[in-house]
Structure 1
Amino acid sequence: MQRICVIGGSRYFGKLLVQRLRAAGHQVTVINRGSGRPPAGVEHLVVDRDDEAALLAALGPRTFDVVVDQVCYTPVQAAIAARVFAGRTRRYVMTSTIEVYDPATAAALAPLPADTPVPEETVDPATWPVDPGLPWHDAAYLEAHYAEGKRQAEAVLTRAGGFTFASVRSAHVLGGGAREFTGRLAHYTRRVRAGEAVAVHAHALPTVFIHFAELAELLHWAATEADFDGPLNACSDGPLDVHALTAAVAAQAGRAPRYQPATAAAPASPFSFERHYAMSNARAKELGFVFSHTADWLPGAVTEALAETPTAVPTA
């Protein structure tokens, strides 16, 4: 049994992670602003993680074996966490994102060859520059600089000391029907079921995905079994481009897929990329984690999404 703190954990794969940690017999504490209650048997601290004094007061003398941070988006949040949890936990795991590799959001990142899955060392948090003076508290700025916020948050926690730090860079997460709150898979089920064209780039290239339950499993493993530090890519085997994803939806919906060129008036659909956007999961495999293949779970994820999609009359 380990004492584990989850910051966030109120929805989607974070909620599932909390459930799995509790079911495995761990002593779990969830910190959030009251957006969702954890399951029975899980301690709940309602506090704003951005309020350092309030967070310290809420934690009191508590210490943990592991902290899993699901909702760290900025270097300012990371710096608060580094101060609050230094000496309070031996290990800190942050959920990060594939977006850290997006060269469109960082001039320092050079695009890799089209057939090269991106390894973790492409973005080294130990050397990435940090600027806490940027307007990270502005919601619009943060939304527009999501990837850079994650890069800088990783950088702050990597250099913090006081605990072992690991980041899990998640691929695009799918599955769970209505629980998939981003609506990206629903974009495809709505359009395909309605007979509408999906807007795609002329030369769309592959990206990688992971099922929400598999990501919860990997985070559980990273928190309770693994002992790595630094960044770790998390993605199922089997990259897909937008055409393959749309075809999978169309097969389940019983309709032929339709496409149209992406334009300013019809922006590209989610997961349509003009750059190669696939990560390498070799490091996680070397550490002992076994990934599924997208073909193992994508049909079920599409079926769940279609169940939440109203039946529509095809357009002309």
Structure 2
Amino acid sequence: MQRICVIGGSRYFGKLLVERLRAAGHQVTVINRGSTPPPTGVEHLIVDRDDEAALTAALDARTFDVVVDQVCYTPVQAAIAARAFSGRTRRYVMTSTIEVYDPATAALPTVPPGTPVPEENVDPAGWQVAMDLPWHDDAYLETHYAEGKRQAEAVLAHAGDLAFASVRSAHVLGGGALEFTGRLAHYAEHIVRGEEITVHAKALPTVFIHYEELADLLSWATTADFTGPVNACSDGPLDVHGLAEAFAARARREAVYRTVSAGEEASPFSFDRHYAMSNARAKALGFSFSRTTDWLPDAVAEALAVSAAPTA
């Protein structure tokens, strides 16, 4: 049994992570702002993680074997967490994102299309941090999401008394109504209605992961001893056409496409640049991934069912 603190953990794969950690016999504490209570048997600390004094006071004398940070988006948040948990935990796992590799958001080493992007393409130990940027501005953060994650990783990588690991998640799918981003709903609704799916002329493949698999990997990361970033994606890249056709086949409709130029906005998961990740490091460390084609049909069926359900 371990003492594990989860920051966030109120919805989607974070909620499932908390449930699985508890079911595995761990002593779990959840920190969030109180909008969603955790499962029975899980300690709940209601506090705003951005308020350092309140966070430190809420933690009191608690210590943990591992902290899993599901909602760290900026270097400011990372610095607060590093100070608040200094001396309170030996291991800190941050949920990060495939977006750190997006070449449209930073000057990154070029990786030829078709070559899976390895973790070393973004090294948090060498990434520059700028605390004075307007990280508290929601609009700024929304447009600088990838950079916020990169800099948050960098801050925690330099927190000397923490064994830091980041889990860089692929695009997360599955769960029907639990998938709150609306990206699969976009396909379900457009395919059923015969509406256009907008795609780039040279749409490149990306990688995905099922929300249950990501919860499993994060749970595994709490007991593993690796440090640094690790990519989390199912085997088998998929492009926007493959995703749309999976919906079309299930709905027995024909996908209708409209092509847009490079740089223009398109349907979710249509990318005109390459940053599909490699999961080789996680495999070498002992984690086994499913194939995207194993779970995608069920995820598509769930999304179509939710789309067809009558609204209250």
TM-score tier after normalising by the smaller chain length: over 0.9
1:262-296 CA distance string (max 9 Å, x none): 269x8310100111221000000000000000010
Q: In the aligned structure 2, how far is the partner of 1:197 from the partner of 1:65? A: 50
Q: In the aligned structure 1, how far is the partner of 2:228 from the partner of 2:92? A: 10
Which range moved further: 139-148 or 270-279?
270-279
Give the corresponding residue for 1:182: 181
Give the corresponding residue for 1:303: 301
Tell me the amino acid that sits aligned with residue 99 of structure 1.
E
Give 1:277-288 correspondences, 5 Å limit: 277-288=275-286
In structure 2, the residue corresponding to 1:232 is in which secondary structure? strand
Tell me the amino acid that sits aligned with residue 175 of structure 1.
G
Give the corresponding residue for 1:221: 220
Q: In the aligned structure 2, how far is the partner of 1:262 from the partner of 1:110? A: 26
Q: TM-score, normalised by structure 2?
A: 0.97
Give 1:55-74 correspondences, 5 Å limit: 55-74=55-74
1:237-270 CA distance string (max 9 Å, x none): 0000000010011111111111111269x83101
Give 1:139-288 correspondences, 5 Å limit: 139-224=138-223, 226-262=224-260, 267-288=265-286
Q: In the aligned structure 2, how far is the partner of 1:267 from the partner of 1:145? A: 17
Give the corresponding residue for 2:75: 75
Report the CA distance between 1:311 and its aligned residue: 7.8
| Structure 1 ranges of 4+ moved more than 4 A | none
In structure 1, the residue corresponding to 2:229 is in which secondary structure? strand
Q: Gaps spanning 5+ residues in structure 2: where?
A: none
Q: In the aligned structure 2, how far is the partner of 1:83 from the partner of 1:116? A: 38
Report the CA distance between 1:2 and its aligned residue: 0.3
Give the corresponding residue for 2:93: 93
Report the CA distance between 1:310 and its aligned residue: 2.9
Structure 1 pair 88/260, CA: closer, same or farther in 2 (3 Å)?
same
Counting aligned pairs with the same residue, the percent is 76
Report the CA distance between 1:105 and its aligned residue: 0.7
In structure 1, the residue corresponding to 2:161 is in which secondary structure? coil
Q: TM-score, normalised by structure 1?
A: 0.96
1:21-74 CA distance string (max 9 Å, x none): 000000000000012100000000000000000001101000000000000000
Tell me the amino acid that sits aligned with residue 68 of structure 2.
V
Give the corresponding residue for 1:294: 292
Tell me the amino acid that sits aligned with residue 250 of structure 2.
Q
Asked if structure 1 preserves the Cα contact closer than 8 Å seen for 2:32 and 2:46, the reply is: yes
Report the CA distance between 1:137 and its aligned residue: 0.3
Tell me the amino acid that sits aligned with residue 243 of structure 2.
L
Asked if structure 2 preserves the Cα contact closer than 8 Å seen for 1:70 and 1:95, the reply is: yes
In structure 2, the residue corresponding to 1:103 is in which secondary structure? coil
1:195-220 CA distance string (max 9 Å, x none): 11100000101000000000000000
In structure 1, the residue corresponding to 2:308 is in which secondary structure? coil
Tell me the amino acid that sits aligned with residue 75 of structure 1.
P
Asked if structure 2 preserves the Cα contact closer than 8 Å seen for 1:86 and 1:161, the reply is: no
Task: Tell me if 1:20 matches 2:20.
Answer: yes
1:114-159 CA distance string (max 9 Å, x none): 1110000000000000000000000000001000000000000000
Asked if structure 2 preserves the Cα contact closer than 8 Å seen for 1:194 and 1:311, the reply is: no
Asked if structure 1 preserves the Cα contact closer than 8 Å seen for 2:124 and 2:153, the reply is: yes
Asked if structure 1 preserves the Cα contact closer than 8 Å seen for 2:90 and 2:163, the reply is: yes
Tell me the amino acid that sits aligned with residue 266 of structure 2.
A
Q: In the aligned structure 1, how far is the partner of 2:203 from the partner of 2:240? A: 7
Tell me the amino acid that sits aligned with residue 148 of structure 1.
E
CA RMSD of aligned residues (A): 1.3
Give the corresponding residue for 1:53: 53
Asked if structure 2 preserves the Cα contact closer than 8 Å seen for 1:166 and 1:228, the reply is: yes
Q: In the aligned structure 2, how far is the partner of 1:311 from the partner of 1:28? A: 35
In structure 2, the residue corresponding to 1:160 is in which secondary structure? coil
Report the CA distance between 1:110 and its aligned residue: 3.5
Give the corresponding residue for 1:117: 116
Report the CA distance between 1:111 and its aligned residue: 3.1
